[in-house]
Amino acid sequence: MDTTDRFLRFAAECEAMAKISPSRENKIFWNGLAQRWLRCAQLTEKLDSDLRSFGLRRRQARSQMRSMAQ
């Protein structure tokens, strides 16, 4: 399971806790925590995507340099 999936699972668990919490304050707390986990998942997904793009651009640049050197 990758990090993004783990964060999404944590968010779902927090949302479940919010649903069963008896007090309004606890519901607010758990929902806020769920939102933070969702944000972590979004940031992790973006970082992974950016790193993949960077790696692809880097490989393409190296390939172009090799073909120019030949």
Q: Tell me which residue has tokens 């304050």.
A: 25
Q: With bands split at pLDDT 50, 70 and 90, how would you rate the model's confidence at 65?
A: low
pLDDT digits (tens, 9 = 90+) for 1-50: 699 999 999 999 999 999 999 999 999 999 999 999 999 999 999 999 88
pLDDT at 60 exceeding the cut of 70: no
For residue 70, is pLDDT > 80? no
Output 52 or 69, whichever has higher pLDDT. 52
Closest among 20, 44, 41, 42 to 31, alpha carbons compared: 20
